[in-house]
């Protein structure tokens, strides 16, 4: 689902019309968050967000994993594997099919042990059985089935919490005042006044606050001066296109798809033919590339496409390191 534009504008007539439904929806989510859950047996770090849609959770989860690994821990990612048909629990292998385990699960599996499970307590049990000393749960902040020892909330600096209303009147899953008490830390990713407002609100609520940015991985290939056809099926494709422009790429054409889009053979063949006819380099995200499998046209498009790997960096990585080490009394 593409987020409606009115979610990120001052509250107009449509937001006000939907406000009663928002209070009902948000109230149910808030009540659910207060339900007791199961204990995992090892610490659980949840990487979540206050809103529907993407806010940088997966890059944040990967960055947290790096810190925990450096501190001598054996983290395991626990994910529902959105977009994957398997329910689990199962251990994700980097060469699994995205339509089975989900695209984000494949990105996580390249970093550390990753378990896909719709049933989070069952997934946690499998992760511990596989040797995990700490669990990083990708999403699930509003899901009470597994107790969290620490919840780190990703906030997009540009969009923040939008108009501050719950779905369907706005992007929040529940009123921000109902959610903030369950958060241990807030990480605002990228610049923007909307993110700064959430940063200040969280700090005023005695929640640890951090700033971070998503940028190019140092290993990213140069695209300067190259004419590209950029295609993406992610939450905010315009941010990907801006990254390409900032790299010096000449964006001659774009193709936009829904988040987690399953590329068909026909779509892959069309993109490849369009790029070849105009002598353009197809460029996509690492997440989209995981979905270009399972058929000759998709495999062919993958073979001629280039990805742009990104990574999240904290403005003060030492502060996040200290937060995690002190939170779990790690050796650090």
Residue ranges of the annotated binding site for ATP are 51-58
Cis peptide before 286, with omega less than 30 degrees from 0?
A: no
CA quadruple 145, 146, 147, 151: dihedral sign: negative
* Rounded CA separation 117/119 (Å): 5
Question: Going by C-beta distance under 8 Å and a sequence separation of 6 or more, which residues neighbour residue 328?
Answer: 43, 134, 149, 150
Q: Name the residue among 309, 319, 327 with its Cα closest to residue 223.
A: 309
Neighbour-count burial of 146, counting CB atoms closer than 10 A to its CB (0-12 exposed, 13-18 middle, 19+ buried): buried
* Rounded CA separation 214/310 (Å): 7
> C-alpha angle 200/202/205, rounded to 5°?
110
Binding residues: 51-58
With contact defined as beta carbons under 8 Å apart, do 174 and 33 qualify?
A: yes
The DSSP result for 44-91, as a single string, is EEEEE-SBSS-SSHHHHHHHHHHHHHHTT--EEEEE--TT-S--S-EE
Parallel, antiparallel or unpaired: strands 113-116 and 306-307: unpaired
* Rounded CA separation 288/302 (Å): 10
């Amino acid at each position: 689902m593409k987020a409606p534009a009115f979610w990120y504008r001052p509250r107009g007539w449509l937001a006000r019309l939907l406000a009663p439904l928002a209070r009902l929806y948000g109230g149910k989510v808030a009540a659910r968050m207060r339900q007791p859950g199961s204990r995992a047996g090892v610490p659980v770090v949840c990487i979540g967000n206050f809103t529907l849609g993407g806010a940088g959770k997966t890059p944040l989860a990967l960055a947290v994993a790096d810190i925990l690994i450096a501190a001598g821990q054996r983290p395991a990612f626990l994910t529902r594997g959105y977009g994957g048909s398997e329910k689990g629990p199962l251990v994700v292998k980097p060469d699994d099919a995205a339509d089975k385990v989900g695209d984000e699960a494949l990105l996580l599996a390249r970093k550390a042990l990753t378990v896909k499970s719709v049933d989070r307590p069952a997934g946690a049990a499998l992760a511990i059985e596989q040797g995990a000393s700490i669990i990083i749960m990708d999403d699930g902040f509003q899901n009470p089935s597994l107790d969290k020892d620490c919840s780190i909330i990703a906030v997009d600096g540009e969009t923040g919490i939008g108009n501050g209303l719950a779905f369907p009147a706005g992007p929040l899953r529940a009123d921000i005042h109902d959610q903030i008490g369950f958060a241990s830390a807030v990480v605002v990713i990228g610049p923007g006044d909307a993110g700064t407002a959430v940063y200040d609100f969280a700090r005023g609520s005695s929640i640890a606050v951090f700033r971070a940015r998503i940028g190019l991985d140092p290993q990213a290939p140069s695209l300067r001066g190259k004419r590209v056809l950029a295609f993406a099926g992610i939450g905010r494709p315009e941010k990907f296109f801006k990254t390409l422009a900032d790299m010096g790429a000449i964006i001659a054409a774009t193709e936009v798809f829904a988040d987690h889009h399953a590329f068909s053979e026909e779509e892959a063949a069309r993109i490849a033919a369009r790029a070849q006819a105009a002598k353009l380099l197809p460029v996509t995200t690492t997440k989209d590339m995981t979905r270009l499998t399972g058929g000759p046209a998709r495999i062919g498009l993958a073979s001629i496409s280039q990805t742009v790997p990104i990574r999240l960096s904290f403005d003060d990585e030492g502060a996040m390191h200290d937060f995690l080490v002190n939170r779990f009394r790690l050796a650090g």
